[in-house]
Amino acid sequence: MNQLDALRQFTTVVADTGDFKQIGAFRPQDATTNPSLILKAVQKPDYQPLLAETVQRFRGQPLDEVMDRLLVRFGREILSLVPGRVSTEVDARLSFDTQATVARAERIIALYRAEGLPVERVLIKIAATWEGIQAAAELERQGIRTNLTLLFSFCQAVACGQARVQLISPFVGRIYDWYKKSAGAAWDEAANAGLQDPGVKSVTQIYEYYKHFGIATEVMGASFRNLGQILALAGSDLLTIAPELLAQLAASEAPVARALDPEAARQRSLQAVSYDEAGFRYALNEDAMATEKLAEGIRAFAADAVKLEKLMLAA
């Protein structure tokens, strides 16, 4: 049994890509996308006709609507290849506007429905700002399932649990990146690998808290830099993995052991916490890594959305 199949014994495997032609070989249950992945895909020759076709079909419509139609077109293709769900992201430029995020999510869902796809197969991705989490709470009340992304801190995870969101995507690799850069020459790779990886430790804390207190929100580790991070989180509800790392897992037959266990988490001695808006903002502010990576992630996704719009205008 290769490592990818072994991992499936403990964890739902999700493909992290906009390149849907790569998905079939790895048989993931779900797939996730984001503006950067879609931008990367549409610059490949295989996907340029899809971009041109979508732009031509809806030429004259507002640019943001054409963008959503392009995202849904990718989502439709992905859903033809996976048995589960696809995550489609709301424009990151709306990350601090609750009502605009709700409206954009409602439109994306309406476009999926118009394609004849059941809403249960779509997760709306939203940045885990305070405003984004409140938007997700409203959408969940409507029966629209959400995936809270750009999640780097425990306080973000707790607030998402309070909002009863369907799923969170804590970013393992970007947490690792921050601590490695911060340490500079003092960074000890061996001492910060596996279970001691700062990104792995963050997701483990969140997973154990959710399982201990019976919080139904799914935990999906994301943004991996190496196989060690993935294997150290075997047992997480889901893991979303880039095709390059999926290929490495499929090529290895080294053993895979369960690292995260819900029953063990229930035996922990943990204290429940909760956040109102002021408490959330203060806790996030106290976490320099999470504050910086959240802001950086929103800026990067917003910049890639602008680049995608420029490609659409030129198509």
pLDDT at 99: 98
In angstroms, the CA 65 to CA 298 distance is 20
Per-residue pLDDT for 19 more than 90? Answer: yes
Per-residue pLDDT for 12 more than 90? Answer: yes
pLDDT at 201: 98
What pLDDT, in 10s, does the model give residues 155-205? 999 999 999 999 999 999 999 999 999 999 999 999 999 999 999 999 999
Query: One-letter amino acid identity for 166?
Result: Q
Per-residue pLDDT averaged across 110-114, rounded? 98
The residue to which tokens 């956040």 are assigned? 275
DSSP-derived secondary structure for the chain: --HHHHHTTTSEEEEE-S-GGGTGGG--SEEE--HHHHHHHHTSTTTHHHHHHHHHHTTTS-HHHHHHHHHHHHHHHHHTT-SS-EEEEPPGGGTT-HHHHHHHHHHHHHHHHHTT--GGGEEEEEE-SHHHHHHHHHHHHTT--EEEEEE-SHHHHHHHHHTT-SEEEEBHHHHHHHHHHHHGGG--TGGGSGGG-HHHHHHHHHHHHHHHTT---EEEEB--SSHHHHHTTTTSSEEEE-HHHHHHHHH----------HHHHHTS--------HHHHHHHHHH-HHHHHHHHHHHHHHHHHHHHHHHHHHH-
Structure tokens at 57: 């079909």
CB-side neighbour CA atoms (13 Å) of 291: 9
Per-residue pLDDT for 276 more than 90? Answer: yes
What pLDDT, in 10s, does the model give residues 84-106? 999 999 999 999 999 999 999 99
In angstroms, the CA 35 to CA 111 distance is 18
* Cβ 233 vs Cβ 239: under 8 Å: yes
The residue to which tokens 């973000």 are assigned? 156
pLDDT at 61: 96
What pLDDT, in 10s, does the model give residues 120-147? 999 999 999 999 999 999 999 999 999 9
pLDDT at 145: 98
CATH 3.20.20.70 fits 3-314, yes or no: yes
pLDDT at 293: 98
Structure tokens at 249: 């897992």
In angstroms, the CA 304 to CA 36 distance is 6
Task: List Cβ neighbours of 78 (8 Å cut-off, separation of 6 or more).
Answer: 20, 23, 31, 33, 86
pLDDT at 245: 98
The residue to which tokens 């964890």 are assigned? 11
Query: Comparing 30-34, 161-165, 224-228, 289-293, which segment has the lowest mean pLDDT?
Result: 30-34
What pLDDT, in 10s, does the model give residues 68-79? 999 999 999 999
Q: What percent of the chain is modeled with pLDDT above 70? A: 100
Q: Is residue 181 annotated as part of the catalytic site, yes or no? A: no
Longest CA span, the chain: 58
Among 18, 21, 22, 35, smallest CA distance to 311 is for 35
pLDDT at 157: 98
pLDDT band at 24 (very low <50, low <70, confident <90, very high): confident
Within 10 angstroms of residue 159's Cβ, the number of other Cβ atoms is 30
What pLDDT, in 10s, does the model give residues 217-238? 999 999 999 999 999 999 999 9
pLDDT band at 35 (very low <50, low <70, confident <90, very high): confident
Catalytic choice (125, 180, 181, 293): 125
CA 138 to chain centre: 19
